[in-house]
Amino acid sequence: MLTQGLIGVGGFKTAHTGWLTLTAPPKTGLGSVAHHKVVVKRPFHKVFPTAANFGPYKIGQYSLADELPKLFRKANVLYWAKSLLMLTYDFIDHSIASSSEPPPFTVPCVHFVEAGLALCYHQGASRAGTKTGSMHAAFLLEELIKDGDEFFLKFIHNMDANPLLDELDYGYDFAEFFVFMQHVQYVKTRQLAFISDYQGMSDS
């Protein structure tokens, strides 16, 4: 595994610093500026030196055939999570519009990190056995959160519907809002889906 630009190693993915430049950049979002700083993520599996599945391990890289479905699944989850978030804000906006009085508090404005898949193709047959235009690598690119290590918070655990933070902790108001969002999503999807494991940071 390359250690240059390594941000960290999670339970299932490695994260490196990187940059993205698109030939036809969008007006906003990921890739809207040249050399857009991003986080480059890639799934891995743990390779233990013995049959025991514990202790020190090496980072094992999946084959492209095994890696692609994992990356597409992650990207698809992010897509549906954004849709559920939009569903929640639509519910909030409709409730406020139909009420005779505005809410006695400020509704938090949150968003998921911008993300997308980067698929790398051979530009020429530089090695024997490779075909021009064939895919040779794939990565998940995510928006880089500035100062993420210093202010990153976990608001709700994925196995519990209650806030992880105490009432006097910084970010507790966000945690309560995320609990409310889960309730709306669960009801509006007829108990089919809701977003869990809320974590992130505030830019305020």
Tokens of 200: 């992130």
In a domain, 92, yes or no: no
In a domain, 195, yes or no: no
In a domain, 174, yes or no: no
* Residue 100: strand pairing partners: none
What pLDDT tens digit does each residue of the chain (204 aa) get?
455 688 888 888 999 999 998 888 888 888 888 889 999 999 999 888 877 777 788 899 999 999 999 999 999 999 999 999 999 999 999 999 999 999 998 999 999 989 999 998 877 655 656 565 788 899 999 998 876 555 678 899 888 888 999 999 999 999 999 999 999 999 999 999 999 988 887 665
In a domain, 163, yes or no: no
In a domain, 42, yes or no: yes
In a domain, 138, yes or no: yes
d(CA 69, CA 4): 26
Range of the structural domain that residue 3 is part of: 1-75+113-144
Tell me how many domains the chain contains. Answer: 1
Of 51, 48, 71, 47, nearest in space to 60 by CA: 47
In a domain, 50, yes or no: yes
d(CA 109, CA 191): 24
In a domain, 51, yes or no: yes
| Secondary structure, 3-state, 76-145 | HHHHHHHHHHHHHHHHHHHHHHCCCCCCCCCCCCCCCCCEEEEEEECCCCCCCCCCCCCEEEEEEEEECC
